[in-house]
Structure 1
Amino acid sequence: MSAPKTEDTPGPRPEGSTRRRLPRDTLSRRVILDAAERVAARDGLDAFTFQSLAKEVNAHPTSLYRHFRDKDQLVLELIDDLRARSYGGRLEATDSWREDLRTLARYIHEHLLRYPQFAVQMAARTTRRPTEFANVEFALDALLRAGLDEEDAAMYLRVFGNVVRSLASMEAGMLVLDPETRDGDTLAWQLEYRRLPAEQYPRIAAMSGQLKDIGDPQVFDTAVDLFLDAIEARAEQARKGKSAPEGG
């Protein structure tokens, strides 16, 4: 059966081209995933195509279909593969549910900052693959050990993931700005906010030296701690509700 014809299929090779393609048996999923990481880091996932990837591995685009059904399958495999390489196998439960969730948050944060060019796309996708399954299992176990019931644990799992990935993606977005723009945004909190007239912005004027920029590491850590405090408070509230006498 012939490979599907897609928009990634290249046109005729230019006259005089002497570029040699890889021998058929040398192209593997590992080779493709490694090349996909390079292309995505350079061009972003939005500009990522089978044609650009085939050029990277010096192969014909249709040969990629022997390993991946389409671009989306490859993207999901790439995202899960990168997660596995960043922190796969490093999540081990301890006797502290708080520390376990804090560790998971730190790994996700570090991972997305490692790939800022496509951190937003990675954060938004659901891969349905082994590393993601392991992360969800680990987080649910920690939330249940915190004392939440299953309904609350399921809700807090989603909120926790959204908060952590959103904050990390914002920081990653700063990293891919051109240096002049990034420095301007960062310096605004250190300079421009301090120059605002106190009569017009009294609160800002009084606290300008304490304001944090988006990339301040204390911001992410504080957000995680606030979330963990909320979990603990919710679990305590549930315990008190269960222990309250009927009709009390």
Structure 2
Amino acid sequence: MTPAKADAASASMKVRLDRDTILAAALELAAQPGVSTLSFRELGAHLSVDPTAVYRHFRSKDELMMALLDQLAVRGLAEIDVPVEDWRGRLRAISMSTLHQFEQFPAIGVEAIVLTTNGPGEHGAIELMLDAFTRAGLSGEELVRHYALLAAHVLSAGANIARARADGASGVWLDKPILVDPREFPLVAANSTLLARLRDDELYRAGVELIIDSAERAVSQARFATDAPAPPEV
């Protein structure tokens, strides 16, 4: 064994590794400014162990990231203190707490668009959304459709915001002004100032509100259809 490997092995012996220790260290690393990705090498260095020690607990980076994403979901759920009767407030709260976690740990949040955790945090988030939409009056296909709309918006838009934060972006939706020939693209040119003012966090909130509004409309339409008098017999 080379001196370097001997030192790494010695360091590994000094650190008692388990899944919780690794996840806690990964969260610490992901929260550091400028960290946009996580690797087993960087995590091993942060833990002062050989990276192979991490592989004993997580067989792949995807497995590690799924566990970390579920940790963020658990943390996001813990932030919610809105009464269950306030279904709109619960949906807004889980949307914003998820975004807060993604912004705090952008190197983890960016993975939300490609990974499904199938863990207790994810299951808890799904249950909360389904419960909120059920309390709104939805059921069946409309219930699961609105859950899917909100989940897709939160995860995809949240992951994009996390990526922007990891890259040091300020939150402006467009990273540079749109310069076009107004004769060829008259509407783009006419709205270029307004487009430049768009912010990703404001668009995120607007998307959540649109989905809540859609749920309210769906409930109203279902009630109207139920209360409408039957057509006269011919």
Provide the TM-score with structure 2 as the length reference.
Answer: 0.78
Q: For structure 2, list consecutive stretches of 5 or more residues without a partner in the other structure.
A: none
SS, match of residue 80 in structure 1: helix
Number of the residue aligned with 1:102: 92
Residue 128 of structure 1, aligned match among 110, 113, 118: 118
Q: Matched residues in 2 for 1:234 and 1:112: separation? A: 30
Q: Deviations over 1:136-165 (max 9, x none)?
A: 111111101111113221121112110122
Query: Which among 202, 207, 225 is matched to residue 218 of structure 1?
Result: 202
Partner letter of residue 155 of structure 1? R
Alpha-carbon offset, residue 214 of structure 1: 5.7
- Describe the SS at the equivalent of 1:93: coil
1:235, 1:183 → 2: CA distance?
Answer: 35
Runs of 4+ in structure 1 over 6 Å off = none
Backbone CA RMSD of aligned residues: 3.4
- Counterparts of 1:155 and 1:205 in 2: how far apart (Å)? 36
What's the CA shift for 1:127?
1.3
Percentage identity across paired residues of the two chains:
27
* Shift, 1:212, TM fit: 4.5
**Does 1:160 find its partner at 2:150?**
yes
Asked whether the 8 Å contact 1:147–1:236 carries over to 2, the reply is no
1:221 Cα deviation (Å)?
1.8
Deviation, 1:224, is 1.4
In 2, Cα distance between equivalents of 1:183 and 1:228: 25
CA distance, structure 2, for counterparts of residue 165 and residue 13 of structure 1 = 46
Give the match's secondary structure for 1:242.
Answer: helix
Structure 1 gap segments, 5+ residues each? 1-11
Contact 2:44 2:54 in 1 (8 A): yes
SS of 1:211's partner is: helix
Letter in 2 for 1:223: G
DSSP-derived class of the 2:126 partner: helix
Match of 1:74 in 2: 64
Q: Contact 1:37–1:78 (CA<8 Å) still a contact in 2?
A: yes
Query: For the residues of structure 2 that align with 1:156 and 1:239, how far apart are their CA atoms?
Result: 17
- Contact 2:30–2:107 (CA<8 Å) still a contact in 1? yes
Letter in 1 for 2:127: E
Aligned to 1:4: none
Who is 1:245 aligned against? 229
